[in-house]
Amino acid sequence: MTTILLGPQRFTTTVQATLRSLDCEGTVAMINAGWEEREAEDAELRSVLDGRGVNASLYGRAVEALAGDRDLRVAIIAHRTRHAELRAFYGIRLQAAWDTVFAVMRRPSKDDVAAGARRSAVQALRDVDDWYAYEVARIVETTATSQVVQSSEALARQRREVAEIVSGAAVVAIAGGHVGILMETLRLLDVAIPPQTPVIAWSAGAMAVCDPVVLFHDFAPQGVTAPEVHDRGLGRLRGIVPLPHARRRLALEDRDRMALFANRFPGHRLVPLDDGTIVRFSVGDSSSRPAVLPEGARFVDPDGAIAAWEPA
């Protein structure tokens, strides 16, 4: 199972060379639902895919299915409302837990109790993440297994057509854009990428193929400033948290902040994806085992520094 994560493609385009490196013939299923209304404006994407691209049109298909099935539309609106409400509560709890960790870290103390206080504060932060992840999973499962979703003919037709495009492709390319919309359409259209089919993904697409999907922006003008779990990903690459635009969105020089980010997700590797980055994963199957970073790949180490991975 080959999965290749790329840096953003706006200024440094690497997807064409990456596709050619796979040395395989056939169509490339293009998933660019994160572009929303611009999904059909794919001429440039088709060009860098050597003219082999077939647009799966997830966003357009989702819009069509929702327009043709009132009950489905109501169910999806209810899903979005529940998720938004959950995120609001999560944001409140997350920011408080995040701020508490730094308050504890910065309090001068020579007593051994300080170390315990820090560990406990970090664990409380993880507990908030775990609570949110559990609740997101419940919302997703409830919607996916609902009678409305399961019985929608309009949705079933779109799902069949998408499955035909994806299963018949030699490669699947997943572009960036709005990661929330991308995840929603991937899930609504029940996209299942065969394990043996290579995947090339960048920006929001890279986030979508991993699990969890983590949002981050140290320089956000308002709202939650702590990195936040947003959704469940496809889980094709487990144990990997991609960080697109890391140089532009993260205070990489703030070692305490980066160390907390890295240690917050035990069992995961935080992988910066900046312009020109290519990280190629080759694993035997799609099991729950964590993906292994290739030698030389950059990651955030437990001390908050950017390091190159060296196999043990």
Query: What is the reported pLDDT for 153?
Result: 96
Query: What is the reported pLDDT for 167?
Result: 96
Per-block average pLDDT, block size 10, for the chain (312 residues)?
A: 93 94 94 96 95 97 96 97 97 95 88 88 97 96 96 97 97 96 96 95 97 90 82 93 94 94 94 96 66 92 94 77
CB within 8 Å of 39: residues ≥ 6 apart: 32, 33, 55, 57, 58, 59, 60
| Domain residue limits, the chain | 2-67+156-308
CB within 8 Å of 285: residues ≥ 6 apart: 1, 195
Q: Which residue has the tokens 């986030």?
A: 207
The SS3 of residue 312 is: coil
Pair 212, 233: CB distance under 8 Å? yes
Q: Which two tokens stand for residue 117?
A: 């206080």
Q: Which residue has the tokens 């999904």?
A: 39
Query: What is the reported pLDDT for 76?
Result: 97
pLDDT digits (tens, 9 = 90+) for 226-261: 999 999 999 999 999 999 999 999 999 999 999 999
Query: What is the reported pLDDT for 111?
Result: 76
Q: What are phi and psi of 230, to 5 degrees?
A: -105, -45
For β-strands 2-6 and 278-282, DSSP reports them as: antiparallel
Q: What is 2-67+156-308's CATH superfamily?
A: Class I glutamine amidotransferase (GATase) domain (3.40.50.880)
